[in-house]
Amino acid sequence: MKHIAPLRRASVRTLLATGLVTGLALTAGCAKSEDSSGNDKASAQQEDPGQVVASPSGGSGPSCTIDSYGGSKVDLKSATVGFSQSEKEANPFRIAETASIKAEAQKRGVKLLTANAQSQFSKQISDVQDLIAKGADLLVIAPLNSDGWEPVLRTASAKHIPIVTIDRKINAAACKDYVSFIGSDFVEQGRRAADQMIEATGGKGEVAILLGAAGNNVTTERTKGFEDRIKEKAPGLKIVFRQTGDFAREKGQSVTENLIQSKPGIKGIYAENDEMGLGAVNALKGAGKKPGDVKIVTIDGTRNAVQGIVDGWIDGVIESNPRFGPLAFQTLDTFTQGQEVAQDIVIQDSSYTESNAKADLGKAY
Amino acid sequence: MADVSLARVTVDRDRALRLLQNYGVYGGVMVLLVFNFAFTAHFASAENFRTQAVQVAPVLIVALGMALAIGTEGVDLSVGSVMALSTSLLSLYLGYGPWIATLIAVVGGILVGAANGALIAFVGVQPIVATLALMVGARGLALVLLPQLKDVRNPGMAALGSGDVLGIPYLVLIAAALALLVAFVVKRSTFGRRLLAIGDSRPAARLAGLPVRRVLIVVYVCSGALAAVAGVLATARLTASDPTSLGTLMELSAITAVVVGGTPLSGGRVRIGGTVAGAVLIQLLTTTLIKHDLPPSWTQIAQAVVIVGAVYAARERGKR
């Protein structure tokens, strides 16, 4: 038995290897997916920044100038900007974020270096160090984590490189380790979602919350804003159900299926992101409900969710704006000219309801 | 005198434990059902049972394959990633129609299963390590093929996900048919006997002249194919291909269902009825906690308690 084994083994291995390679080749070669009419639109809408640019110097919070940060004035036009993206551009938010930074750099004629950490924090640290080594004078960072940035900050501060972080904050001293943080106010997003829910339901009845992933600050802040505003403005609206959908469509669907059976009188569902909201729509469709039977309000502003408003299934979408490009570059421009900028800059999030969903579908990302 | 009574107590205890191991899972399901009938509003409706059955179908199908792998004293950690790969392939080939796309998705699962089986049977890698490698690799491949969620608009797929025959959803029918098929194979076929013999003692099986390698490869191929079918069904239900999140932690749910169902991790024994009941038990447990709006962390704790209980019951068998 033993002496013939190697021969057989080798031939089986070759066979398997050939099989795998052919399989891969076939996969790549003759794939034919469903036609999707949305694709060309998706590329067209990238042109439209769709963002109201708030003035970076505005706001009442603490501010920062180049004198207090250290370093010297630079002309943004002749500078090199490094951009480090945290996650793979595989979801609409990251795609729109990177596209916005690139578009703004091109518009302003600034040389842009980009890197993507593919969700690995160690890679992001070395990415940023590479960007500095390649001669970036200014940095825009979308951090993967809030902690662990000391090695990068030390290198950057030795060279007096201004850093702007977008969408997530880093735990370091503003105006010392980095200049400003630009991001959304998640509590405010929750409050605005509550306003839309109150309007859609008339302020009476029972509503449910599909929570995001546990232990995530986005989840806690979006929940807090929503609950506080409901308590304060619509005491007739009772939150009777809070379960996590892990920010995923499948989980949102299965949780909603259980929800509408155990609480058939539910009037509204607040989903803390679009994907769970779309899962809830699936569940309602499966249960034979009609559009509008249960009011749904979600946060993010992806194209699918805004399309959901047009179709009548979703009643309101609060945007979480990924288009940081204009605001980030304006902040850097103002700062490098020697004027003061705020340490915390809140990006403006728009919203979609029945009245503007059709017209603004192109703005959704 | 004292000796005799002591002996009888041990015998009784042994029998009780064996009963618990064999039928505890059915008892658990009954307890949860009774509890829900008594305390959960709107539980006793056809619509509710339909929902629970549809939700449990993909987990159940994956658990069937897992039960086979565990029966050979192995494990298949790659099942969740195979589901993701299957949904990617499905979406990629849906232009040819749902049948061909499903076929290609299942072939993808079979290839991953063959790779698993080859690593285990020919190279001699431990099953947990071999399938861990494929778990990482297959998810990566799925994301290369389809980097982000894509909607599935094909009416055939939508019908598969939400249609029914005489009120029984297709998903449930398919899961039931596969469960019967696997149960038949394990109980009645030569292949099933060989599988159990290998799980009991691989050296003995080899000395007895059984085709150990071939059986092992077929087992992992079956597991891969079943996971791919589960991936297709989950995609049909969601009407979207989402390789980033589909099937995450599915391997743990499947292992839980198998172990709770009374199949020992030491191999040599496969309980398909128990596996079905195990999957149903976990589903009912999750549902009960969701319907009563208890914090999600409780679900995890409750699952842990059930697993520890099941493993405790199974422990005595190893000591025998």
Summarised one tens digit per residue, pLDDT across range A269-298 is 999 999 999 999 999 998 888 888 999 999
Which among B93, B237, B242 has the least Cβ separation from residue A31? B93
Nearest to B179 by CA among B139, B221, B213, B229: B229
Q: B18 CA to chain A: closest CA distance, Å?
A: 35
Asked whether A119 and A89 are in contact (CB, 8 A), the reply is: no
Q: In angstroms, what is the C-alpha Rg of chain B?
A: 20
Q: Which residues of B touch A35 (CB under 8 A)?
A: 95
Q: Which residues of B touch A31 (CB under 8 A)?
A: 92-93, 145
Rounded CA-CA distance B76/B72 in Å is: 11
Listed in sequence order, the residues at least 6 apart from A176 whose beta carbon sits closer than 8 Å to its beta carbon are A69, A157
Helix axes A249-262, A274-286, angle to 10 degrees: 50
The residue-averaged pLDDT of B81-98 equals 94
- Amino acid found at A34: E
Amino acid, single-letter form, for residue A24: L
Domains annotated on chain A, with CATH: 41-183+322-348 (3.40.50.2300), 186-319 (3.40.50.2300)
Nearest by CB to B114, from A16, A211, A261: name it: A16
Nearest-by-Cβ selection for B245 from A248, A255, A282: A248
Minimal C-alpha gap between B214 and chain A (Å): 11
Q: Strand order in A316-319's β-sheet?
A: A237-244, A205-211, A268-271, A295-300, A316-319, A351-353
DSSP A214: T
Residue-by-residue pLDDT tens, chain A, 365 positions? 444 445 455 555 565 555 555 555 555 567 777 765 444 434 334 444 444 445 555 455 788 888 788 777 778 888 899 999 988 877 788 888 999 999 999 988 889 999 998 888 888 999 999 999 998 889 999 988 888 888 888 888 888 888 999 988 888 888 888 888 998 889 999 999 999 999 999 888 999 999 988 877 888 899 999 999 999 998 999 999 999 988 889 999 999 999 998 888 999 999 999 999 999 999 999 888 888 899 999 999 888 899 999 999 999 999 988 999 999 998 888 888 888 888 888 888 888 988 887 778 878 88
**How many CB atoms are closer than 10 A to CB A304?**
20
Q: How far apart are CA B8 and CA B208, in angstroms?
A: 38
Q: What is the pLDDT of residue B137?
A: 94
Phi, psi at B310, each rounded to 5°? -65, -40
Question: Residue A14: what pLDDT?
Answer: 60
**Phi, psi of A141, deg, nearest 5:** -125, 130
Q: Do residue B290 and residue A258 have CB atoms under 8 angstroms apart?
A: yes
Distance from CA of B283 to the nearest CA of A (A): 11
Cβ contact B51–A12 (<8 Å)? no
Residue of A nearest to B121 (CA): A9
Of A91, A246, A251, the CB nearest to B148: A91
Q: Which two tokens stand for residue B262?
A: 């009374």
Q: Is the separation of the CB atoms in B166 and B232 below 8 Å?
A: no
Residue A13 with chain B: CB contacts under 8 Å: 118, 122
Q: Distance from A37 to chain B by nearest Cα, in Å?
A: 11
Tell me the two tokens of residue B171: 């998903």
Between vectors from CA A46 to CA A43 and to CA A51, what angle results, nearest 5°? 160
Nearest-Cα distance to chain B for A33, in Å, is 4
Predicted TM-score (pTM) of this structure = 0.82
pLDDT of residue B317: 52
- Mind listing the domains of chain B with CATH numbers? 55-319 (1.10.3470)
pLDDT digits (tens, 9 = 90+) for B158-200: 889 888 888 899 999 999 999 999 999 999 999 999 999 999 9
Q: B142: nearest CA in chain A? A: A27
**In chain A, which residues have their Cβ closer than 8 Å to the Cβ of B92?**
27, 31-33
Q: How far is B159 from chain A (nearest CA, A)?
A: 11
B257-295 pLDDT, tens digit each:
998 888 888 888 999 999 999 999 999 988 998 888 888
Q: What is the mean pLDDT of residues B219-231?
A: 97
Lowest mean pLDDT among B113-117, B229-233, B313-317: B313-317
Contact by Cβ (8 Å): B232, B90: yes
End-to-end distance of chain A based on CA atoms, in angstroms? 62
Residues 70-129 on B with a CB inside 8 Å of A are 89, 91-96, 107-108, 111, 114-115, 118, 122
Neighbours of A195 (CB within 10 A): 19
pLDDT at residue A280 in the model: 94
Contact A12 B122 (CB under 8 A): yes
- pLDDT, tens digit, for every residue of B233-256? 999 999 999 898 898 889 999 999
Identify the pLDDT of residue A20.
Answer: 57
Tokens for B50, please give them: 């339909």
Q: How many residue pairs bridge chain A and chain B with CB atoms within 8 Å of each other?
A: 108
DSSP labels for A114-130? EEE-TT-HHHHHHHHHH
The whole-number pLDDT of residue B178 equals 97
CB contact under 8 A, A20 and B293: no
**Is A188 in contact with A165 (CB distance < 8 Å)?**
no
Between B293 and B108, the more confident residue is B108
